[in-house]
Amino acid sequence: MKKLFSSILLSLLIAVHLLRADEGMWIPMLLDQFNIDIMHREGFRLTAEDIYSINKASMKDAVVIFGGGCTAELISPDGLLITNHHCGYRSIQRHSTLEHDYLTHGFWAMSRKEELPNPGLTVTFLKRMEDVTERILTKVNDNMTGEERARAVREESRKIEQETSKRTGLKAVVKPFYMGNQYFLLVQKVYRDVRLVGAPPSAIGKFGGDTDNWMWPRHTGDFSLFRIYAGKENEPAAYAEDNQPYHPDYFFPISLKGVHPGDFTMIIGYPGSTYEYVPSYHLKILMQDIYPKLIDLRTKKLNIINAGMSADPKIRIQYAAKYAGLSNSWKRWKGEIRGLNKLNAIQRKQDYEYRFLQWTHEDPQRKEKYGSLLAEYRKLYPEYSRYLLASDFINEVFFRYGAEAIHLAHYFTSLVEMTEQQADKDKIDKEVEVLKSRCESFFRDYNKPVDEKLFVALVNMYETNMPREFYPLSLLSWQGKTGKYMQRVYGKTMFVDSAKVFGYLDGFTAAAVKKLKKDPAYALAADVQRLYDDKIGPELQRLTAEKNRLDRLYMAAQLEFNKGKHLYPDANFTMRVTYGQVRGYEPRDAVYYRFQTTLNGVIEKDNPAIYDYHVPEKLKTLFREKDFGPYGENDRMPVCFIATNHTTGGNSGSPVIDANGYLVGVNFDRAWEGVMSDLMFNPDQCRNISLDIRYALFLIDKYAGAGYLLKEMKLIR
């Protein structure tokens, strides 16, 4: 009896272990027996060498950073890439006008000649990585302040990068792992001629839009196709008409067999950042101070932009990408607060910290090294939070995510500085050109009435939420008359009027700087910058350096405290492998979500009254006629599926790979109940959402009539 009991207990323990095992974003080069054993147990049939090798072609050679923040993978020997629609969105938008509206109608090159170049768009391959911890750590010691240490690390990293680049002609980046306890050199190859091959209409590629974003069940055909072009000998080259399709070392075969509950899946990609090892204080400031305020700010912004977009189709195109960008984090923040609360995350962290503290006290040396960490954190966080919030507000109100004209004006600071420092005329002329091209893209997507409403609402929010000591000078001097002040800014500034700004730049002379400095939008931007430089930046930098010092020690301590367990390093936008299984989940009591959605669900959502739920006629016809070709399954057309892979922002576009190493999906999102996984992973609620690759093939072939593209792929039937 006792024996039986203990074996039940044992299998229970193993089951629990298996469940939790799917948490983790692993460094491909360091996949070890621990990982491979689990992967094999979950069904994987290949080896670590098949994933990452520097001696032979491996999967890592088929996965790239797409642009600045997404992942993409190669699916043909001729450089064909698949990523998400939302990752290709900017490129698709840039080729779109009211006449050729590829966002609305989709775009399909019917031959290689028709593929569209995208200046500025790059893809980045990982050639190899190397541990350089020892070399970096010889440059630092325990007596350094946080800031000194950061400088020393930065300098040595730059040195390693420059040496490597010089030796190899490749791009080299040194990045910290485990909060600066380990450093890796990443050697990368960047291709610069990347052309748009195809994109479904937004009504498919963005189906469900921001209404369904971060949610399951999902019905988005979130993919787009690009092709990498190379110059001589398959090497990177700037765009040139006669560049040839790039031939990769490896590309993914595509399986038409689909996925079923319990199937092994693996994702290789570029997760951006996670914060799994932070103290409870970190969760507290996010959940109680930072997120709620940022959510409020963005709610205001989104309402204003939405009103503009609903009223005018031109504004809809102009603001679509901005809206999606703002709304994406806004919604995730809300989900994170909810998820962390449901998990009782702060309490969990506190319990863990209690055990940690006890452990530090068990040993005098440990106590000396780590005993005061948590107390130091407790002291640091409120102050850190105050400056972090101020810095966020400056960005959200005036700069990157804020009032657009002020943000544009801010870019002109460079011109003022150069002129005042009497820079060469050449240099100034160059800067004028840079600004012109910035203004060109700015005014393409600019609507003054929308921006002015944003400005007024945001400045009001700034005034109510920030202490007076963080007011920019102009706000202080117009106090009590802010309304009038704001009218004056938008009434007088040239930064709301394309003709005026171009006129100014065309006739730019050193003497004209005076006029610029008097422009009220410029003056405000300069005030805000001064405020940041004087009162916020330096303090935030100091506090951040101090926090980094604590983070590094706390991470080192946690690695010791958890000896024997495998702790993966937080995401840092380097290539990672995560594995899991296809599985549904129970979002609420008595509700079960299946693992898969189908075209039936798209048709069910169809609603002409809701913009996000318009279904194109042709898709309805294909559905009615059940014209799914070889891509459907039992009379249904699969669309998306979920699995337990631990992913985050940056993993968009990542390949979802089955037990045999074949591509079965393209990752694009996470489910609402699990978005707190960046801070705490919950194995029974966290699910990544992927496009079923068969839906993409069906759309390319049956919907777009671009079936010729499938010929270069390797389809496994």
Is residue 321 a contact point for ligand ARG (CB under 6 A)?
no
Site for ligand ARG in 77-116 (CB under 6 A): 86
264 to 293: interface string for ligand ARG, x by CB under 6 A: ------------------------------
Q: Cα 285 from chain centroid?
A: 22
When the beta carbons of 58 and 651 are compared against ligand ARG, the nearer one is 651
**What type of residue is 463?**
E
Handedness of CA 278, 650, 532, 299 (dihedral sign): negative
Residues with Cβ within 8 Å of 548's Cβ and at least 6 positions away in sequence, in order, are 146, 150, 179, 180
Q: Choose one: 106-114, 320-328, 346-354, 547-555; the region binding ligand ARG (CB under 6 A).
A: 320-328
Helix (H) or strand (E) holding 619: helix 617-624
Among ligand ARG, ligand GLU, none, the one that 327 touches (CB under a kind-dependent 5 to 8 A) is ligand ARG
Among ligand ARG, ligand GLU, none, the one that 210 touches (CB under a kind-dependent 5 to 8 A) is ligand ARG
Instruction: Report in angstroms how near the CB of residue 216 gets to ligand ARG at its nearest.
Output: 12
91 catalytic per annotation: no
Is residue 324 a contact point for ligand ARG (CB under 6 A)?
yes
When the beta carbons of 210 and 546 are compared against ligand ARG, the nearer one is 210
When the beta carbons of 76 and 652 are compared against ligand GLU, the nearer one is 652
Instruction: Report in angstroms how near the CB of residue 458 gets to ligand ARG at its nearest.
Output: 21
SS3 sequence, 470-539?
Answer: HCCHHHHHCCCCHHHHHHHHHHHCHHHCHHHHHHHHHCCCHHHHHHHHHCHHHHHHHHHHHHHHHHHHHH
Mapped onto helix, strand or coil, the DSSP state of residue 371 is: coil
Helix (H) or strand (E) holding 9: helix 2-21
Q: Give the residue, chosen from 24, 146, 209, 632, that forms a contact with ligand ARG under the rule CB under 6 A.
A: 209
With tokens 């050449």, the residue in question is 426
282 catalytic per annotation: no
Instruction: Report in angstroms how near the CB of residue 648 gets to ligand GLU at its nearest.
Output: 5
Instruction: Judge contact between 587 and 653, C-beta under 8 A.
Output: no
Instruction: Report in angstroms how near the CB of residue 396 gets to ligand ARG at its nearest.
Output: 17
Residues with Cβ within 8 Å of 299's Cβ and at least 6 positions away in sequence, in order, are 330
CA dist., res. 42 & res. 40, Å (int): 5
Is residue 652 a contact point for ligand ARG (CB under 6 A)?
yes
Instruction: Report in angstroms how near the CB of residue 117 gets to ligand ARG at its nearest.
Output: 24
CA dist., res. 114 & res. 109, Å (int): 5
Count CB atoms within 10 A of the CB of residue 119.
Answer: 11
Task: Give the CB-nearest residue to ligand GLU.
Answer: 652
When the beta carbons of 332 and 549 are compared against ligand ARG, the nearer one is 332
Instruction: Report in angstroms how near the CB of residue 670 gets to ligand GLU at its nearest.
Output: 4
Instruction: Report in angstroms how near the CB of residue 677 gets to ligand GLU at its nearest.
Output: 8
Among ligand GLU, ligand ARG, none, the one that 276 touches (CB under a kind-dependent 5 to 8 A) is none
Is residue 360 a contact point for ligand ARG (CB under 6 A)?
no
When the beta carbons of 324 and 416 are compared against ligand ARG, the nearer one is 324
Among ligand GLU, ligand ARG, none, the one that 324 touches (CB under a kind-dependent 5 to 8 A) is ligand ARG
CA dist., res. 129 & res. 183, Å (int): 10
Is residue 669 a contact point for ligand ARG (CB under 6 A)?
yes
Q: 497-505 long-range contacts, Cβ below 8 Å, gap at least 24?
A: 497/448, 498/439, 498/443, 498/446, 501/408, 501/439, 501/443, 502/436, 502/439, 505/432, 505/435, 505/436, 505/439
Among ligand ARG, ligand GLU, none, the one that 213 touches (CB under a kind-dependent 5 to 8 A) is ligand ARG
Query: Choosing from 193, 212, 222, 669, which is the catalytic residue?
Result: 222
312 catalytic per annotation: no
CA dist., res. 670 & res. 681, Å (int): 12
Among ligand ARG, ligand GLU, none, the one that 651 touches (CB under a kind-dependent 5 to 8 A) is ligand GLU
Q: Choose one: 46-54, 324-332, 471-479, 525-533; the region binding ligand ARG (CB under 6 A).
A: 324-332
* Residue 545, token pair as written in the block: 């350096």
Instruction: Report in angstroms how near the CB of residue 533 gets to ligand GLU at its nearest.
Output: 32
Instruction: Report in angstroms how near the CB of residue 211 gets to ligand ARG at its nearest.
Output: 8
Radius of gyration of the chain (CA): 27
Helix (H) or strand (E) holding 35: helix 33-41
Q: Choose one: 206-214, 348-356, 570-578, 703-711; the region binding ligand ARG (CB under 6 A).
A: 206-214
Q: Give the residue, chosen from 23, 78, 210, 551, that forms a contact with ligand ARG under the rule CB under 6 A.
A: 210
Query: Choosing from 53, 652, 677, 690, which is the catalytic residue?
Result: 652
Is residue 328 a contact point for ligand ARG (CB under 6 A)?
yes
Point out which residues bind ligand GLU (CB under 6 A). Answer: 70, 647-652, 668-670
Instruction: Report in angstroms how near the CB of residue 635 gets to ligand GLU at its nearest.
Output: 31
When the beta carbons of 258 and 650 are compared against ligand GLU, the nearer one is 650
Residues with Cβ within 8 Å of 281's Cβ and at least 6 positions away in sequence, in order, are 377, 378, 380, 381
With tokens 């809809």, the residue in question is 316
Among ligand GLU, ligand ARG, none, the one that 647 touches (CB under a kind-dependent 5 to 8 A) is ligand GLU
Among ligand GLU, ligand ARG, none, the one that 182 touches (CB under a kind-dependent 5 to 8 A) is none
Residue 245 has phi, psi (to 5 degrees) of: -55, 140
When the beta carbons of 91 and 280 are compared against ligand GLU, the nearer one is 91
When the beta carbons of 90 and 436 are compared against ligand ARG, the nearer one is 90
Among ligand ARG, ligand GLU, none, the one that 252 touches (CB under a kind-dependent 5 to 8 A) is none
Is residue 213 a contact point for ligand ARG (CB under 6 A)?
yes
When the beta carbons of 309 and 475 are compared against ligand ARG, the nearer one is 309
**What type of residue is 586?**
E
* Residue 422, token pair as written in the block: 């009497």
Is residue 151 exposed (0-12), middle (13-18) or buried (19+ Cβ within 10 Å)? middle
When the beta carbons of 70 and 454 are compared against ligand GLU, the nearer one is 70
Residue 486 has phi, psi (to 5 degrees) of: -65, -40
Instruction: Report in angstroms how near the CB of residue 324 gets to ligand ARG at its nearest.
Output: 4
Query: Choosing from 58, 76, 86, 570, which is the catalytic residue?
Result: 86
Is residue 590 exposed (0-12), middle (13-18) or buried (19+ Cβ within 10 Å)? exposed
Among ligand ARG, ligand GLU, none, the one that 255 touches (CB under a kind-dependent 5 to 8 A) is none
With tokens 């504004």, the residue in question is 315
When the beta carbons of 180 and 650 are compared against ligand GLU, the nearer one is 650
Q: Give the residue, chosen from 191, 214, 387, 585, that forms a contact with ligand ARG under the rule CB under 6 A.
A: 214
Q: 433-437 long-range contacts, Cβ below 8 Å, gap at least 24?
A: 435/411, 435/505, 436/502, 436/505
* Residue 483, token pair as written in the block: 């309304």
Helix residue ranges, H only, 169-258: 202-205, 209-212
Q: For residue 70, list its beta bridge partners.
A: 66
Instruction: Report in angstroms how near the CB of residue 70 gets to ligand ARG at its nearest.
Output: 8
CA dist., res. 29 & res. 594, Å (int): 34
CA dist., res. 99 & res. 105, Å (int): 11
When the beta carbons of 69 and 449 are compared against ligand ARG, the nearer one is 69
* Binding site residues, ligand ARG, CB under 6 A: 86, 209-210, 213-214, 324, 327-328, 649, 652, 669
Enumerate the active-site residues.
86, 222, 652
